[in-house]
Amino acid sequence: MSRVKRGIVTKKRHKRLLKETKGYWGQRKNVFKRASETLIRAMAFAYKGRKLKKRDMRALFISRIKAGAEQSGLSYSQLMAGLKREQVMLNRKMLSQLAIYEPAIFAQIAHIAQG
């Protein structure tokens, strides 16, 4: 049976990982073991960050809607309950955009919610 040398596959795997860790500090960019540990941690933070971004954006939308609702004389909860009761199917992102850029239309929506 012929001899199989496996260095090429390992080198390719190492190079791919080290390419992803380019720009990291110290051994984290050029020592495979340190780079591997750092990259695993970085990817975990990136995954978590994508989830936190959604949470933060929802909180921002709610605060914008609340400010718009208060100008119309409603609380946020009253506005959302009224919209649900009247079956107005607008998500929080769209409501916040209306509150910022189209206050007149948002006021009409709030009037519908008072209903």
pLDDT in tens, 55-92: 999 999 999 999 999 998 999 999 999 999 999 898 99
Residue 28 is given by DSSP the state G
Burial label for 95, CB within 10 Å (0-12, 13-18, 19+), is buried
What confidence tier does 7 reach under pLDDT thresholds 50, 70, 90?
confident
Write down the pTM of the prediction.
0.74
Amino acid symbol at 2: S
The 10s digit of each residue's pLDDT in 94-108 is 999 999 999 999 999
Separation between Cα atoms, residue 79 and residue 60, nearest integer Å: 16
For the chain, list the domains and their CATH numbers.
8-114 (1.10.1900.20)
Look at residue 45 in the predicted model and tell me its pLDDT. Answer: 97
